[in-house]
Structures are given as structure tokens and as C-alpha cells.
Amino acid sequence: MHSKSIPTGIISIVAIFFTWFFIDSSAAGIVTIIAATLILSLEISADAAKHLHPEIIASLQSDDQTILIENIGTGSAEKIKVRIIPDGTSYDAGDLLPDTSHQYMLPECMREGKAAVSWEKKDGTRTEKIFRLSGYADESDPLRPVFPLFGWKEK
């Protein structure tokens, strides 16, 4: 066993030990389900801690003049640079910790455009995404999980 899987091994051994004492099969099944749930939650927590990465999104607020840059990922994004297309505005948004945001007020209202947002991860690699900014429609990905796990869309 790996050193990080020792808690899951202990939970498994304790669950097996307790199920031997139950004569009733339904009680043994309940203990098995609780143990499996604990093991799965520990594995998900370990995976989430191992795959910390930022997930940046950009959107145009309802006033059509404020751009909101958010880090909805699990890792910090560093040296964020934003370029507004087509008006050519560029600015540095600094660093964003997980679950934080940065607002930037444009000099004038914008109904349609794009934002090219680039940031640096902890390992030094730079990532860039282009977001459609629109005051008319909300762009969202229905397949995006609530929080990124297992390297979702990392490739």
C-alpha cells in the first residue's frame, strides 16, 4: 500500500472486522456501504489535492462595461493577462487564488467582443483561453462539473 492509502486500508480492515460480528446480512451491507463511501471520499480528496489547477472564466457583466475574471478552479492562477478583442485593450489582472475574482471597468460600453485571458500555473506553464463576451447571451458549458476533478478538460 502507498502511504496515502493507509487510511483507506484501515477503513477497509475495520469495516471487514465489524461485518464479521453482524449476523444479519442487512447490517453487514450497511457497514459495507458506509465503508465504501468513506473510501471513495478519501480517494476523491486525495485526487483533488494532487491535481490542483486553476480554471479561469471571463464574462461581461450586465452593465456592459465591467469584465469579471474568476478563478473557479482549485489552484492559484498567476500573472494573468487580459486582452480585449476587437478594441485592443490589454491589462494585467495579477494573481487569483481559487474562488476569487477580479473586475475591470472598460472605458466605454461593449455589446459584443472577446477576451483572450492567459495565466501561469504553479509549474510555470502558460495557458490561454478566449471567451466570448456578450451583453445579449450567457455562455456556459452544461458539461462542466461543479469543481474540476480527475484532470477534466486539462488536455
8-state DSSP, 70: E
Instruction: Say whether the peptide bond before residue 107 is cis (omega within 30 degrees of 0).
Output: no
pLDDT at 2: 47
Nearest to 106 by CA among 128, 84, 124, 135: 84
Q: What is the pLDDT of residues 65-78, one digit of tens each?
A: 888 899 888 888 88
Q: Which residues contact 17 (CB under 8 A, 6 or more apart)?
A: none
Residue 121, pLDDT above cutoff 50: yes
What are the grid coordinates assigned to 115, written together? 477576451
Mean pLDDT of the chain: 77
Pick 56-134's CATH classification: 2.60.40.2890, 2.60.40.10, 3.30.230.10, 3.30.365.10: 2.60.40.2890
Residue 40, pLDDT above cutoff 70: yes
Q: Is residue 151 very low, low, confident or very high in pLDDT (cuts 50, 70, 90)? A: low
Domain borders along the chain are: 3-50, 56-134
Nearest to 70 by CA among 40, 93, 42: 93
